[in-house]
Amino acid sequence: MKIQNALHMALAVLLGLAGLQAGAQNVIKIGEINSYKAQPAFLEPYKKGMELAIEEINSAGGLNGRKLQLVTRDDNATPGDAVRAAEELVSRERVDVLAGGFLSNIGLALGDFAKQRKIFFLASEPLTDKIVWQNGNKYTYRLRASTFMQVSMLVPEAAKLKKKRWAIVYPNYEYGQSAAATFKQLMKAAQPDVEFVVEQATPLGRVDAGSVTQALADAKPDAIFNVLFGPDLSRFVREGNTRGLFQGREVVSLLTGEPEYLDPLKDETPNGWLVTGYPWYGIQTPEHKAFFLAYHGKYKDYPRLGSVVGYSTIKSIAEGIKKAGSADTEKLVAAFAGLQVVTPFGKISYRALDHQSTMGAFIGKIRNEGGKGVMVDYRYLDGANFQPSDSEVKKLRAAD
C-alpha cells in the first residue's frame, strides 16, 4: 500500500511538472525593468499603456495561441540594480525578451547586458544616442525618438528666433549632457554666430533652482535652452517666474510639452516656450482616436506620453514575434530590422542600420490657459526625417 501511494505521489508530481512546462510553453514572457519609484509621473502611465496592449493582444488570442505575460522589476534608478534585475529575469524568470529603461545611463547598462547575455532588448524610453550609435549592438533596439532627433526638430525653429547669446541648463547625466552637446553642435551649424554664454549642469532630481536661475540671469542671455524635466522643471519654472528670468527671453525646452511635466506646472505655466510634447487632446488621426478611446475606457483617465510609449513597446515586441514566427532571440533580432508597427502616432519602422525607430514627436508652444498648461500651434514631425546620413551613422556605430 505504501509503495502504491508513493507511486501515486510521484506520478502526481510528474504530471504537475509537465503541466507547468506546458503552461510555460504557452506563455511568452516579457521582462521589463524601469525606475517606477523614482519617475512615477512618466512610468505609472507607461505601465498602464503596456497593460492595455497586453490585454488587447491576449483577448484576441495571443500570438499564435501563446499569451503574453509581463514581468516587471524596479531598478531603483541605478544601473547596478537594473543589471541585477535583468540577470534575475533572464536566469530565474526565464523571460523571452527584455524591455524598458527610462534614464539614459540605465538604458546603456541594459543594452550592454543584452549584448553580453545575447538576449533581445527593446529600450523603450532612454533617449541617449549612444544606445543606437557608439554603444549600439546587435541585440538592442530603441523605440522613442532619440535626443538627436528631438533636438534636430527644435533647432530650425530656434535658429529662426535669431538670438545670439544662449544659456543652457540640463541635468548632469548622460541624457542631459548629450542634449546640450547636440544643441550646441546643431545650432552652430544653423547659426554660426551663436554664442553659449553660460551652462548650468544640475544634479538629477536635486536642482538648486535659486542659484541656477541667478547664474543664468547674471549672464544676460537672449534665449535659454532647457533640458530639465519632472520636479526639477517645476522648481526651475517657479524660481524663474519669481525672478523674472523668462521675461523678454525666448525659451526652447525639451520634453516640457509632455503632460507628465506640463500638467504639474498648473498656473505657473509660462507662455510661448518652444517645446516637444504630446497634445493628446488635439490629435485626430484614426490610430490615436482608437488608442485614446481604449485607454480612457479602461482607466477613465487621459493618456500621457508614457502611456503611448508603454503601449507601443508591447505592440512592437508583438509584431516582431509575429514576423519572426518565434520569440527566439536571433530570429527576433533579425525580424526587427525594418519591422513596421502601427502605433498611436501612426506607422513606424525600425531602421536596420542602427536599430532606431522612426517614431517622431510633436513640437509646438506652450500656453497658460486658465491656470493649465497646453500645447498650441503644434505639429507632428516624422522621426524618419530627423536622422543623420547613413554614412555618418556608420561612423558613429560600433561594430556589432
**pLDDT of the residue at 64:** 85
Domain edges within the chain: 11-145+284-359, 148-279+362-385
What is the 3-state secondary structure of 72-138? EEECCCCHHHHHHHHHHHHHCCCCCEEEECCCHHHHHHHHHHHHHHCCCEEECCCCCHHHCCCCCCC
pLDDT tens digits, one per residue of 309-352: 999 999 999 999 999 999 999 999 999 999 999 999 999 999 99
pLDDT tens digits, one per residue of 285-304: 999 999 999 999 999 999 99
Q: How many CB atoms lie within 10 A of CB 372?
A: 13
Correct CATH for 11-145+284-359 of 1.10.10.10, 3.40.50.1980, 1.10.3720.10, 3.40.50.2300: 3.40.50.2300
* Residue with more model confidence, 16 or 208: 208
In whole angstroms, what is the distance from residue 358 CA to residue 337 CA?
A: 12
CB distance 278 to 257 below 8 Å: yes
Q: In the predicted model, what is the mean pLDDT of residues 9-38? A: 68
**pLDDT of the residue at 17:** 41
pLDDT tens digits, one per residue of 382-392: 999 999 989 99
Q: Mind giving me the DSSP string for 297-324?
A: HHHSS---HHHHHHHHHHHHHHHHHHHH
pLDDT tens digits, one per residue of 42-64: 999 999 999 999 999 999 999 98
Q: In the predicted model, what is the mean pLDDT of residues 211-221? A: 97
Answer whether residue 133 shows pLDDT above 70.
yes
**pLDDT of the residue at 14:** 45
pTM: 0.91
Asked whether the domain spanning 148-279+362-385 has the same topology as the one spanning 11-145+284-359, the reply is yes
Q: Domain 148-279+362-385 in CATH: superfamily?
A: Response regulator (3.40.50.2300)
